[in-house]
């Protein structure tokens, strides 16, 4: 029996609360996973997992062994990573999950650079706006905005983004100087899958708060799609600066109402506590910081004022 493999399988079954999900995450046959757990139970002479047709439950011995097995597997991975780092090459696999727009706009274009830097790593990227459980899904690093699972994970803030109101220069030239007079029919919206209305825009200045509910002709579930529509002069967008920056820097879009304060969202790198010290996780997190901070908001000269609609 390969005891390290058996430990790894047992830990994954415990994390997933499922033999089949553990098999899928480890790319093993269901029978192999079942046999690994049975073999290690036989070797130890105890039952680690009580299972019936509905659910799995760790026994007292299983709970104790889970903590020790995690410690051993973490020590093995740390030793391997340190040796690989010494010879200049990390090897293994990384499972990364991030929101769709984050992957398409921010990290997708940069990931070939990461692959070239660490050719021994195989990185699998999942783009989804649904929040899968980091530990149960076998995710090494997940990028989250604001909402983070509490139990068993480490969340490291990597970027604080703020919303910008933006549009093309020609659209900006016809906007009112006061956003309170901006027609909601010009405002394009972000609408996530479980929402029936688009997210409201929040602006504040000098103690005055303003909420705009977008009622424009187009609404999307991803920022990159919304930005394409804004660039096509379909209306005005309210988008996190980190997504809008490339089009603001190029001049394709301009920021309006820049003297108003908007909402902020924090991006986090989330990982299981027992994976947080892994060398491969560490280098990916360093790469995340490198990419996100290379796209800092453009200078304020990229923002322009707006004037009241001309009277005819």
Tens digits of per-residue pLDDT, 213-226?
Answer: 999 999 998 899 99
pLDDT of 49 higher than 70: yes
Mean pLDDT, the chain, as a whole number?
Answer: 84
Q: Could you state, in order of their start, the residue ranges of all structural domains in the chain?
A: 3-86, 92-157+266-293, 161-264+298-302
What is the rounded (10 degree) CA torsion for 125, 142, 98, 8? 30
- Please report the pLDDT score of residue 53 as a whole number: 62
Asked, colleague to colleague, whether 3-86 and 161-264+298-302 share their fold, the answer is no
Enter the CATH code of domain 3-86. Answer: 1.10.10.10
Q: Determine the average pLDDT of the residues in 19-40.
A: 87
Per the CB < 8 A criterion, the answer to whether 16 and 30 are in contact is no
Enter the CATH code of domain 161-264+298-302. Answer: 3.40.190.290
Per the CB < 8 A criterion, the answer to whether 275 and 281 are in contact is yes
- Please report the pLDDT score of residue 194 as a whole number: 66
Burial of 300 (0-12, 13-18, 19+ CB in 10 A): exposed
- Please report the pLDDT score of residue 196 as a whole number: 77
Tens digits of per-residue pLDDT, 106-150?
Answer: 888 899 999 998 888 889 999 888 777 787 777 889 998 866 666
- Please report the pLDDT score of residue 181 as a whole number: 95
Tens digits of per-residue pLDDT, 71-87?
Answer: 888 788 777 766 766 55
Share of the chain above pLDDT 70, in %: 88
Sign of CA dihedral 231, 178, 242, 299: positive
d(CA 143, CA 104): 13
Q: Determine the average pLDDT of the residues in 44-60.
A: 85
d(CA 170, CA 56): 61
Tens digits of per-residue pLDDT, 164-184?
Answer: 999 999 999 999 999 999 999
Regarding the domain with residue range 92-157+266-293, which homologous superfamily does it belong to in the CATH classification?
Answer: Periplasmic binding protein-like II (3.40.190.10)
pLDDT of 193 higher than 70: no
- Please report the pLDDT score of residue 87 as a whole number: 55
Alpha helices (runs of H) in 87-222, residue ranges in sequence order: 100-101, 111-117, 169-172
188 vs 8 pLDDT, higher one: 188
């Amino acid at each position: 029996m390969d005891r390290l493999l058996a430990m790894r399988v047992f830990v994954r079954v415990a994390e997933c609360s499922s033999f089949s999900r553990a098999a899928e995450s480890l790319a093993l046959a269901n029978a192999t996973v079942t046999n690994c757990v049975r073999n290690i139970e036989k070797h130890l002479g105890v039952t680690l997992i009580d299972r019936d047709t509905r659910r799995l439950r760790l026994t007292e011995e299983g709970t104790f062994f889970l903590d020790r097995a995690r410690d051993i597997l973490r020590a093995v991975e740390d030793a391997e990573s340190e040796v690989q780092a010494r010879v200049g090459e990390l090897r293994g696999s990384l499972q990364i999950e991030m929101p769709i727009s984050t992957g398409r706009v921010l990290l997708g274009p940069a990931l070939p650079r990461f692959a070239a830097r660490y050719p021994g790593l195989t990185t699998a990227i999942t783009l989804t706006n649904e929040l899968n459980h980091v530990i149960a899904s076998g995710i090494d690093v997940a990028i989250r905005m604001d909402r983070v699972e509490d139990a068993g994970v480490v969340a490291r803030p990597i970027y604080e983004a703020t919303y910008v109101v933006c549009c093309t220069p020609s659209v900006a030239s016809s906007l009112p100087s006061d956003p309170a007079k901006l027609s909601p029919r010009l405002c394009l919206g972000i609408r996530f899958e479980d929402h029936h209305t688009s997210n409201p825009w929040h602006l504040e200045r000098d103690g005055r708060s303003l909420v705009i509910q977008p009622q424009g002709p187009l609404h999307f579930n991803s920022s990159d799609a919304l930005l394409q529509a804004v660039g096509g002069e379909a209306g005005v967008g309210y988008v996190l600066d980190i997504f809008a920056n490339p089009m603001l820097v190029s001049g394709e879009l301009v920021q309006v109402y820049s003297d108003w304060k908007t909402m902020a969202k924090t991006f986090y790198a989330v990982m299981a506590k027992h994976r947080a010290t892994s060398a491969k996780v560490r280098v990916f997190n360093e790469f995340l910081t490198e990419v996100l901070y290379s796209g800092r908001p453009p200078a304020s000269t990229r923002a322009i004022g707006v004037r009241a609609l001309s009277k005819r």
